[in-house]
Amino acid sequence: MDKNRINPIFVRTITLKNMGVVNFEDLFEAKLAKNDMIEPKDWMPENYRKHLIRQISQHAHSEIVGMLPEGNWITRAPSLRSKLVLLAKVQDEGGHGLYLYTAAESLGTSRDEMLDALLTGKAKYSSIFNYPTLTWADVGAVGWLVDGAAIMNQVMLQRTSYGPYARAMVRICKEESFHQRQGYELMTHLAFGTPAQKEMAQDALNRWWYPTLMMFGPPDIESPNSENAIKWRIKRETNDQLRQRFVNQSMPQIEYLGLTVPDKNLKWNEAKKGYDFSEPDWTEFKAVIKGNGPCNKERLASRNKSHAEGAWVREAATVYAKKQNENYEAA
Ligand code: BYC
């Protein structure tokens, strides 16, 4: 090991030409205060690093597991055009997972550790992907509502304090925006189609509404991670703020489709310039994130099967990389 290399975990201060002795933590705080990004080689508090690994790896897992519910419909898409669009969308989600795993790796964890946590059921991923996609309308509802909720949450993450995460989110948001439009387009065709198609669209909205509201996480008073996330500028808005904005933004779209929300309490509140609405069933949410949702077992089994079937690809890639390295060193 290079003796002159600073190990940021043990060294707490640095002497700078114009500033004298400076504490790393003060530098970190000063960067946050100036809205500067924290980069992989910067000093950072251990809890900040752990918080990011938790959130980014969960986010990556969500993208990868999120390929499954819609992936189920690729072979059953009703036209060549819709099949191509859905294929592209699902493939994008795989790409998002890869950018995010790479961002998490820059914090000192490994792909193997993260995948192991996912495949053994230790790691969380978004609750939403433990619900089944029963009809073709669900593909529309997922694109429109689920990707719509994802964008609502992810726009702020483009300005999150950790550089690699923020930069990954810029591209992800652009692609999510296309996903949301493809979902809404699909719902438009159904909602303005035959009575049976409209009924299918309404049924999908009925089933996906509350699970989508759960995506934003528990209410702020029950969100243990929010305080640090806001303090460190990892999250810039709270779970409840984003959930409220999502409802406000979705209502005109739902009304345009001529559909209704399965919530008798939903009404415009002029005083707060937003909608009042019923909370999702938080008992159900807790059960789903503990592994007891409608599809948790199926999703994990599916990921484990793919991982096992892909073993030969990983082995071949490792041998190939080793050979390339040897050739490079020999040259
Ligand atoms: N599902 O203190 P809280 C997508 C957990 S994928 C499961 O509020 P935080 C897409 C939370 O992890 C979209 N677990 O946490 C892909 C924590 O447990 P731990 C995914 C949830 O982190 C394919 C505990 O509950 N987006 O776009 O401050 C196709 C307490 O919560 C959920 C992201 O991952 C949930 N819904 O806030 C289509 C965005 N909610 O870890 C679309 C990045 C909470 O302490 N993540 N939990 O054991 C975030 O912004 C935040 O992590 C969350 C939660 C808002 C999700």
Query: Residue 139 above 80 pLDDT?
Result: yes
pTM of the model: 0.93
Quote the pLDDT of residue 193: 98
pLDDT tens digits, one per residue of 85-122: 999 999 999 999 999 999 999 999 999 999 999 999 99
Of residues 8 and 314, more confidence is placed in: 314
Quote the pLDDT of residue 3: 44
Q: Which atom of ligand 1 is nearest to the CA of 229?
A: 28
Q: Which of 172, 175, 182 is nearest to 97 (CA)?
A: 172
Q: Which atom of ligand 1 is nearest to the CA of 58?
A: 34
CA gap 312, 319 in Å, rounded: 11
Quote the pLDDT of residue 1: 40
Of residues 2 and 20, more confidence is placed in: 20
Quote the pLDDT of residue 92: 96
Find the helix or strand (DSSP H, E) in which 229 lies.
helix 226-231
> Scanning the structure block, which residue is given the tokens 């008992």?
283
Quote the pLDDT of residue 18: 72
Query: Residue 2 above 70 pLDDT?
Result: no
Q: What would the mean pLDDT of 67-78 be, rounded to a whole number?
A: 96
The residue nearest atom 33 of ligand 1, judged by CA position, is 59
The residue nearest atom 44 of ligand 1, judged by CA position, is 217
Ligand 1: which of 54, 126, 147 to mutate, most ligand atoms within 8 Å of CB? Answer: 126
The residue nearest atom 30 of ligand 1, judged by CA position, is 223
Q: Which atom of ligand 1 is nearest to the CA of 143?
A: 38
Q: Which residues have CB under 8 Å from 257's CB, separation 6+? A: 187, 188, 191, 192, 201
CA gap 117, 54 in Å, rounded: 11
CA gap 89, 101 in Å, rounded: 19
Quote the pLDDT of residue 4: 45
What residue type is 296 in one-letter code?
Answer: N
pLDDT tens digits, one per residue of 149-195: 999 999 999 999 999 999 999 999 999 999 999 999 999 999 999 99
The residue nearest atom 36 of ligand 1, judged by CA position, is 215
Ligand 1: which of 62, 133, 179, 210 to mutate, most ligand atoms within 8 Å of CB? Answer: 62
pLDDT tens digits, one per residue of 202-237: 999 999 999 999 999 999 999 999 999 999 999 999
pLDDT tens digits, one per residue of 236-295: 999 999 999 999 999 999 999 999 999 999 999 999 999 999 999 999 999 999 999 999
> Both tokens of residue 190?
């159904």
Of residues 40 and 21, more confidence is placed in: 40
CA gap 194, 174 in Å, rounded: 32
CA 255 to ligand 1 center in whole angstroms: 28
CB under 6 Å to ligand 1: residues?
Answer: 54-55, 58-59, 62-63, 66, 93, 124, 126-127, 146-147, 150, 153, 214-218, 223-226, 229, 239, 289
